[in-house]
Amino acid sequence: MKIFTKLEEIKDTGFTALALGNFDGVHKGHQKLLAECVATAAQLGLEPSVFTFTNHPANEIAGRTVIKNIMTFEEKAAELEMAGIENMFSIIFDENIRNLSPLDFINFLLQDKFRMRHAVCGFDYSFGYKAQGDAELLKHCGLEMGFGVSVVPGLKINGEIVSSTLIRKIIDEGRIDEYPAYTGRLYRIDGRVVEGKHLGRRLGYPTMNLSLDSDEAFPRNGVYITRTYVDHTPHPSITNVGNKPTVGEFAKNAETHIFGFEGELYGSDVRIEFIKMLRPEFKFPSLEALQKQIHSDCLEAERYFEEEDT
């Protein structure tokens, strides 16, 4: 897949079937839209492509982070490529783009820059200055200008329309076990292991630490059954997400104990997959009480993996 992050970089692309949207989380609603784009591109002899923004327009307009990312740029790109997308146009939403009228947005960006000949968007897609353009306007312009438009209806799961907003709510509330139903995969964190305070080792449960980006959506503080990948090898594990209130107030991080693992991981890149939440994070009256709870949490997580293997 070719990735373009600046308009001036775009060259050597053919005419495109262009999926429009933010695609944060690449949930099942997005997957339905991407499948429509890929199928349409195959029918019309176009290149299946995506136009999205590297930064969220709402954050740019607010001047601060009001919407957190569900996944990193790299994770999003990987999911789009697996869906069959050949070109990813991921452009910074800046003042110039913000002030484009809906018609200029279509003419300058979609047609001239991205060589769009067929657009695929969700029913709630909006674009142009103050989001004045919508799917109906895009269809109307398509009839006048000679490009096709497919509007994909919302996908309902468990009575709710799947959206990035819904996914963020599920993550924020710690309902990690529900995440696969809406995305088709486990919630995960990719990151590099950093050195911590070695508290877990002193309590008898050595842990690895990942620092968390405050601009990303992370689960409610608590203890989770997880699976940790080291050099692409999965290991059963348990992860505490939070601020460690029993021993002080720290920046939010993910602290993972890998069952039966020996060796140092500082500086290693790992992936943590979240399976289910065991309990919220608590402030315990003593380190002894915390140690007793950690022991109980580990036993419950180990039972889960034992049952999974049977």
Burial class (CB in 10 A: 0-12, 13-18, 19+), 260: exposed
Q: Is the pLDDT assigned to residue 198 strictly greater than 80?
A: no
SS3 121: strand
Residue 248 has what pLDDT? 59
Distances (CA, A) of 169 to 31, 68, 117, 178, 211: 19, 11, 36, 11, 22
Q: Is the pLDDT assigned to residue 79 strictly greater than 90?
A: yes
Could you report the per-residue pLDDT of 237-295, keeping only the tens digit for each? 999 998 776 665 667 788 999 998 877 788 888 999 999 999 999 888 888 888 899 89
Q: Is the pLDDT assigned to residue 34 strictly greater than 80?
A: yes
pTM: predicted TM-score of the whole model, two decimal places: 0.90
Q: Is the pLDDT assigned to residue 199 strictly greater than 70?
A: no
- Domain annotation for the chain: domains and CATH numbers: 2-161 (3.40.50.620), 186-309 (2.40.30.30)
Residue 202 has what pLDDT? 58
Residue 285 has what pLDDT? 85
